[in-house]
């Protein structure tokens, strides 16, 4: 089969690899209908050391089940399913708590162990616990939004939960990438009254406004902090969604949170330390969030997608075939595309 492999920074190739297949009796095999390139794929795309054997990439996909192992009970061949970016057994203590990303048997797609979704097919470990059933034969217009449930929309929702967004909240979203934009949808969906997006890409900010943002801030650093305070009555935002992962963006997120407020961070951190400790301490600002257990948010978000109340699929502004995946990475890395949809 054809699959995308990353060999090092800037080096993504689509190659012939051995067919994905069932290995364990709890596996399913899924033929990929749509996959996506994620902002988090750009970190290895910028930094990965050159490797002789390519790493399978892609952790967002939907598709049709081709086969299941002997112990799979709830998923069958022909089902239309979504694959969250992490696999999980669905039964351990953490899965029962809804924290699927901490599953004791879990792991991530887009790795040597998990296989990659930017491919013609992917092996799904713990199919019963991992896969989410989608309605068969959905309206084609809904398909991009269904793909976002495998990562960015669930991650935006997790940021909003970590930031404790409530009806009437004042919310700030740091980052205008796909997750930040989905964070706007999530904040609006949870009843936020004011939603301010920190970013500077005009096309992305325009989409943020269509998703419900009430204001935008292009400044950075101290100037951004001053500006957010100015438009939130002097104190900052109740809830801040940190959707970038850089030291500066997390520091800004903590600085723009009002006393007693909360930051939900979902940007993959690029540093070990959390900045802004003194500020967070003196303001009693909680820093929550983390890797998003999106498997647990399907039941919450899917009805809104199917009934058209939210349209997170609008974050996709470029679609490529499998052979176009390297171009898709380039486009996202150069920020000429917000997010790329892949149709194998
Ligand atoms: Zn588990």
Residues 10 and 130 occupy one common structural domain:
yes
**Distance (Å) from CA 89 to ligand 1 centroid:** 4
Domain boundary among 253, 270, 289: 289
Residues 329 and 230 occupy one common structural domain:
no
Q: What is the pTM of this model?
A: 0.96
> Over the range 313-328, which residues count as b (16 or more CB within 10 Å of their CB) and which as e?
bbbbbbebebebbbeb
Residues 188 and 206 occupy one common structural domain:
yes
**Distance (Å) from CA 101 to ligand 1 centroid:** 8
Residues 134 and 61 occupy one common structural domain:
yes
**Distance (Å) from CA 130 to ligand 1 centroid:** 9
**Distance (Å) from CA 100 to ligand 1 centroid:** 6
Residues 106 and 20 occupy one common structural domain:
yes
Q: Residue 313 maps to which CATH number?
A: 3.90.180.10
Residues 238 and 250 occupy one common structural domain:
yes
Q: Return per-residue pLDDT of the chain as tens, 344 residues.
A: 999 999 999 999 999 999 999 999 999 999 999 999 999 999 999 999 999 999 999 999 999 999 999 999 999 999 999 999 999 999 999 999 999 999 999 999 999 888 999 999 999 999 999 999 999 888 999 999 999 999 999 999 999 999 999 999 999 999 999 999 999 999 999 999 999 999 999 999 999 999 999 999 999 999 999 999 999 999 999 999 999 999 999 999 999 999 999 999 999 898 889 999 999 999 999 999 999 999 999 999 999 999 999 999 999 999 999 999 999 999 999 999 999 999 99
* Domain span including residue 171: 155-289
**Distance (Å) from CA 124 to ligand 1 centroid:** 14
**Distance (Å) from CA 88 to ligand 1 centroid:** 5
Give the count of domains, the chain: 2
Residues 84 and 147 occupy one common structural domain:
yes
**Distance (Å) from CA 82 to ligand 1 centroid:** 18
Neighbour tally for 122: CB within 10 Å = 27
Q: Residue 280 maps to which CATH number?
A: 3.40.50.720
Task: Report which of 30, 131, 44 is spatially closest to residue 85, judged by C-alpha positions.
Answer: 131
Q: Which long-range contacts (CB under 8 A, 24 or more apart) does 276-280 make?
A: 276/250, 276/251, 279/254, 279/255, 280/254
Distance CA 228, CA 117 (A): 39
**Distance (Å) from CA 253 to ligand 1 centroid:** 31
Residues 18 and 39 occupy one common structural domain:
yes
**Distance (Å) from CA 51 to ligand 1 centroid:** 31
Domain boundary among 289, 313, 328: 289
Residues 119 and 15 occupy one common structural domain:
yes
Residues 146 and 231 occupy one common structural domain:
no
Q: What is the pLDDT of residue 270?
A: 86
Domain boundary among 289, 314, 334: 289
Residues 96 and 200 occupy one common structural domain:
no
Residues 240 and 264 occupy one common structural domain:
yes
**Distance (Å) from CA 296 to ligand 1 centroid:** 12
């Amino acid at each position: 089969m054809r699959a995308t492999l990353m060999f090092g920074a800037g080096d993504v190739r689509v190659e012939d690899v051995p067919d994905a297949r069932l290995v364990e009796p709890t596996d399913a095999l899924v033929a990929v209908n749509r996959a996506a390139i994620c902002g988090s794929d750009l970190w290895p795309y910028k930094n990965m050391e050159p490797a002789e054997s390519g790493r399978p990439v892609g952790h967002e996909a939907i598709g049709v089940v081709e086969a299941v192992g002997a112990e799979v009970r709830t998923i069958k061949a022909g089902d239309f399913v979504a694959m969250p970016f992490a696999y999980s057994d669905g039964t351990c203590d953490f899965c029962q708590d809804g924290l699927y990303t901490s599953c004791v048997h879990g792991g991530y797609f887009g790795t040597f162990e998990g296989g990659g979704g930017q491919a013609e097919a992917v092996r799904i470990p713990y199919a019963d616990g991992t896969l989410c059933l989608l309605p068969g034969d959905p309206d084609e217009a809904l398909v991009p939004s269904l793909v976002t449930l495998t990562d960015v929309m669930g991650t935006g929702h997790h940021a909003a939960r970590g930031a404790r967004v409530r009806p009437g909240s004042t919310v700030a979203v740091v980052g205008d990438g796909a997750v930040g934009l989905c964070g706007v949808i999530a904040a609006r969906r949870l009843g936020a009254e004011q939603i301010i997006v920190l970013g500077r890409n005009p096309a992305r900010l325009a989409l943020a406004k269509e998703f419900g943002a009430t204001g935008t801030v292009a400044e950075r650093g101290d100037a951004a902090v001053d500006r957010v305070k100015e438009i939130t009555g002097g104190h900052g935002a109740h809830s801040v969604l940190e959707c970038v992962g850089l030291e500066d963006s997390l520091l800004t997120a903590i600085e723009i949170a009002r006393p007693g407020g909360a930051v939900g961070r979902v940007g993959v951190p690029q540093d070990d330390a959390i900045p802004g400790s003194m500020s967070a301490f003196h303001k009693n600002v909680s820093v929550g969030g983390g890797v998003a257990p999106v498997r647990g948010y399907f039941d919450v978000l899917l009805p809104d997608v199917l009934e058209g109340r939210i349209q997170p699929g609008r974050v996709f502004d470029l679609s490529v075939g499998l052979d176009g995946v390297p171009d898709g990475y380039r486009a996202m890395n150069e920020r000429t595309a917000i997010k790329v949809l892949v149709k194998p």
